[in-house]
Structure 1
Amino acid sequence: MSIRALLAAIVAVLAAGAVRAQTPVRIGVLNDRSGVYADISGEGSVVAARMAVEDFKAAEKGLKVEIVSADHQNKPDVGASLARRWFDRDGVDAIFDVPTSSVALAVNEVARERNKVLVDSSAGIADLTGTRCSPNTVHWTFDTVALANGTAGAMVKRGGDTWFFLTADYAFGEAVQRDAAALIARRGGRVLGAVRAPFPASDVTPLLRLAQGSGAKVIGLANAGGDTIAAIRQAAKLDLARSGQALAGLLIFSSDIHALTTRVAQGLVLTEPFYWDLNDATRAFSDRFAERFGGRMPTSAQAGVYAGVIHYLKAVEALKSAGDGAQVVAKMKELPTDDPLFGKGTIRPDGRKIHDMYLFEVKKPGESKGEWDLYKTLATIPGAEAFRPMSEGGCPLVGAEALGRGDVVRLDRATP
C-alpha cells in the first residue's frame, strides 16, 4: 500500500470514528400553532429551540440535534397521540413547550411510560410537580402557585380582599383559581363567587356582568392567551374601573399586552418569570430572536424553551446519551442551571425549576417608549418564595430522591 493510500485509509477511519462519536438527539416542540396560544408559544418556540442548539454549539460538543414540531390543537388526546408517535416511531427523545395544562398532564404520562423526557415551559398547572410529578418531567417557567403568590398576593396587599373569578373551563383555569383562592383566604380575603367560561371563549361580556354585579373588588381572570385578551378588551368596554373594580390577570404574557396595547391594559398588575427588557442579557437574546421572528420579542414561554433546551443538552452531553429519559432528567436535576435568560437556578427533586419571578405593572401609553416597552417592575420575588415548598406538593418522588441527594425538605414553611 502506498503512503498516499495509507493516509487516505487513516483519514477514513478517523472520519468514521467522528461520525460514530456524534450522539443523535431528536427534540420535539409540541404546542398550539393555530389557536389561542399560538402567539405565546407556536413557531416562536421552534425558533427559540433552534437558537438554543446553535448557542450551545451542539455539533462541536458531539451532539447531532434535530428539531421537529407539531400542533396539539389544545386537545389532550391529540397531544398524547403525537407524543406516542414521536417516541415510538419517530425517534424523539424529549418534548418541549406544551401549553394547555390538560395536554401537558397527558404528555407527562406518555413520557413516563416511554421513559422519555418532558420539559414543559408553557403549561401552568402546579400538579406537574405535585401529585402528578414524574421522574421524566421538568416544569421550567411558571406554575399556578407562583402566579397566585405574585399577582393575587399583590392585589390583596393593595386592598383587593374580595374576589370574583372568571375561570376557563379546563385544567389550568381550575388550578389557578384553586391556588389563588387558597392564598386569598390565607391573607384574610374572601372569594365571593366564580363563573366558568367555555374554552375558547370569544364573548364573555355576560359573565363579566355577573362578576361586576358581585361587588367584588377584584375580578380574577383565570384564563390565558386569546381568552384573556378578549376578556380584558370586553372589561374595558364595561368600564369596570369606574365602579371601583380591578382586573387581575393570573396568567399574562407580553404578547397579550402587545396585542391589547398599553392604552387598554395600562395599570394591569401581573407576574412573569421573564421579560425581554430585564437586563443586558435578556435584551441581547431578544434582539436576536426578533431578527428571526418578524420583529416580535420572545414571551416567557419561548424563553423557557430556549433555556430548557440548553440545560437538557448539558445533561445529554454529560451522559453522552439521550436514551434513558429518567437518567437524563436526574442529570438535569444534578447540574446547576445557568443561562442568560433566567440566570442561575436549580431543579428540585420534584422537577420544579426554581428562579425568580417578577411583579410587573403595564405602563401607561405616555410612559412607553416603543411598541414592546410594556412593563415597569414593581418587585422581584425570590424563587424560594414564589414557588410552593416541596413538602406541600404531594410529589411521591420527594421523600426518597430528596433524601438520596441530601436535600432538605422543609416541613415548617408556609407558602407566602
Structure 2
Amino acid sequence: MRKSLIASLAFLLAASTSALAAGASDGVVKIGILNDQSGVYADFGGKSSVEAAKMAAEDFGGKVLGVPIEIVNADHQNKPDIASNIARQWYDQDKVDAIMELTTSSVALAVQAVGKEKKKIDIVTGAATTDLTGKQCSPYGFHWAYDTHALAVGTGGALVKQGGDTWFFLTADYAFGYSLEQQTSDFVKANGGKILGSVRHPLSSNDFSSFLLQAQSSGAKVIGLANAGLDTANAIKQASEFGISQSGQHLAALLFTLAEVHGIGLKAAQGLTLTEGYYWNLDDKSREFGKRFFARTGKMPNMVHAGTYSAVMQYLKAVQKAGTDDTDAVAKELHEMPVDDFFGRGGTVGANGRMIHDMYLLQVKKPEESKEPWDYFNVLATIPGKEAYIDPAKSGCDLVKQ
C-alpha cells in the first residue's frame, strides 16, 4: 500500500511538473514596462503606461494558463546602457517574459538587441524608428503603436496637399529625430515639395530661440518639429511667443499627442496638425477605454498608453492560445493572430513584427470649439494601415521572404 501511495504521489508530481513546463515555465507570466518616468517623455508614456499595462492584466482576469500575471516597471532615463542593463537583469534574474513600451528609439533598439540575443519578446509602443522592423528587426521584436513612416505619411502628407510645400526642420539629435526628418523629407519631396534646411537640437532642450529664428528666417511655409515630449511642447510655446504662427508659417508637430496638447493648452496648440493611432473621443469603444483610464489616472490616454494596453492584452492572448510562455511559440502566435480591439481595429502583424493598423490625422481645436475637458481634436481623416506603414516586403527586414 505504501509503495502504491508513493507511486501515486510520484505520478502526480511528474504530471504537475509536465503541466507547468507545457504552460507557464516558472509559475508566473511577468511583463516589464521599461520607459522614461522622470524625464522629457514622462507624460508621453511614463507611469501612465504602467497603469495601462496593469489594466490589461486585470481585464484579462489576472491570470493566464492558471498562473498570476505580474507587471513590473523601471525608468530607463532615456539611456540605452541603463535600459540594456535593466533588460539583462529582468531576463536573466527576474524571470521577465517580455519587455514593452520602450520610449526613445535608441533605447528600444538596444533592448531589442538584448531580446534577440536572449530569445525574449519585446513589444515597442513608445519609440518610433522604423529600424525596429527594418534593418534591425528581430524574430522576437514587435512594433505596435506608430512609427516615423506613419507620422510622415499622416502629418507630412496632409500639409503638402494643403499647399505647405516648403519645409524647415527642428530635429532632435538622436535616431528617432533623424528617422522622422528623413522620412518626412522624402515624402514631401516625392509630392513636389522642397526642404529649405534643418537644425538639430539636443534632447531635453529648454531654449529653442536660436533654432526657431533659423527656421523663421528660412521663409519655409512649414516648420517641422521632428522631436517629441517636452521638447516639442517647449518649441511650440516659444514659437507662439515669437509670433511665428501669426506670421503665416505653419507648425507641424510630427510626434505630438493628447498628453502634450493638454500640457501646453489649446491657446498655444490650436491649429496644429498631428497624427495619432488613437483618440479617446473617436467613438464609443475609444471613449469606454478612455473614461476607465481617466478614472484611474486623472487624464485621458494617448496612443502610447492605449497601445501599451493593446500590446499587453495581445501578448496574453498569444500566451493563452499557445498554451505556453515559450518565446518561440508565443512569437508565432503574435505574428499570426489578428488584432481586434479598440486600438488595433482589423490589425495584422507583418513578418517583420510591424503591427499594421489605421492612423488618424488630427487638428487641435480652438479653445472655443472644445465642448468638454480633453475634447482637443478634430478628426480630419483616417489613414488606412496599408498606406500608413511600410510594406514588410520593402522594410529591409531580413526575416521577410521577398
Assess same fold via TM > 0.5: yes
2:301 is matched with which residue? 298
Taking the aligned partners of 1:204 and 1:45, their CA distance within structure 2 comes to: 28
Match of 2:318 among 315, 318, 321: 315
Taking the aligned partners of 2:98 and 2:337, their CA distance within structure 1 comes to: 18
Question: Do structure 1's residue 145 and structure 2's residue 149 form an aligned pair?
Answer: yes
1:351 is matched with which residue? 353
SS in structure 2 opposite 1:99?
coil
1:249 is matched with which residue? 253
Q: Which moved more, 1:342-351 or 1:180-189?
A: 342-351
**Deviation of 1:129 (Å):** 0.7
After TM superposition, list the pairs within 5 Å mapping 1:356-367 onto structure 2: 356-367=358-369
Contact 2:350 2:356 in 1 (8 A): yes
Q: Which amino acid aligns with 2:198?
A: A
Question: Do structure 1's residue 117 and structure 2's residue 113 form an aligned pair?
Answer: no
Percent identity, aligned pairs only, is 50
After TM superposition, list the pairs within 5 Å mapping 1:230-241 onto structure 2: 230-241=234-245
Taking the aligned partners of 2:131 and 2:62, their CA distance within structure 1 comes to: 32
Q: Which amino acid aligns with 1:354?
A: I
Contact 2:29 2:64 in 1 (8 A): no
Taking the aligned partners of 1:271 and 1:349, their CA distance within structure 2 comes to: 25
Q: Which moved more, 1:240-249 or 1:128-137?
A: 240-249
1:211 is matched with which residue? 215
Question: Do structure 1's residue 379 and structure 2's residue 381 form an aligned pair?
Answer: yes
Q: Which amino acid aligns with 2:184?
A: A
**Deviation of 1:339 (Å):** 1.4
Taking the aligned partners of 1:171 and 1:333, their CA distance within structure 2 comes to: 26
**Deviation of 1:131 (Å):** 0.7
How many equivalent residue pairs? 389
Q: Which amino acid aligns with 2:321?
A: A
1:85 is matched with which residue? 89
> Could you give the per-residue CA deviations for residues 219-241 of structure 1, whole angstroms, max 9, x where no partner exists?
00000000000000000011112
**Deviation of 1:17 (Å):** 5.4
**Normalising by the residue count of structure 2, what TM-score does the alignment of the two structures yield?**
0.93
Q: 1:302 to 1:84 in 2, by over 3 A?
A: same
Question: Do structure 1's residue 391 and structure 2's residue 393 form an aligned pair?
Answer: yes
Contact 1:359 1:377 in 2 (8 A): yes
Q: Which amino acid aligns with 2:315?
A: Y
Q: Which moved more, 1:119-128 or 1:312-321?
A: 312-321
Question: Do structure 1's residue 32 and structure 2's residue 36 form an aligned pair?
Answer: yes
Gap runs ≥5 in structure 2? none
Q: 1:75 to 1:60 in 2, by over 3 A?
A: closer
Taking the aligned partners of 1:18 and 1:282, their CA distance within structure 2 comes to: 42
**Normalising by the residue count of structure 1, what TM-score does the alignment of the two structures yield?**
0.90
> Could you give the per-residue CA deviations for residues 184-209 of structure 1, whole angstroms, max 9, x where no partner exists?
11001010000010111011111100
Q: CA RMSD in A?
A: 2.0
Taking the aligned partners of 1:241 and 1:59, their CA distance within structure 2 comes to: 51
After TM superposition, list the pairs within 5 Å mapping 1:54-93 onto structure 2: 54-59=58-63, 61-93=65-97
**Deviation of 1:39 (Å):** 0.8
**Deviation of 1:380 (Å):** 0.4
Contact 1:163 1:218 in 2 (8 A): yes
> Could you give the per-residue CA deviations for residues 85-134 of structure 1, whole angstroms, max 9, x where no partner exists?
10011100100100000000000100000000000001000111111111
1:336 is matched with which residue? 338
**Deviation of 1:61 (Å):** 4.9
1:266 is matched with which residue? 270
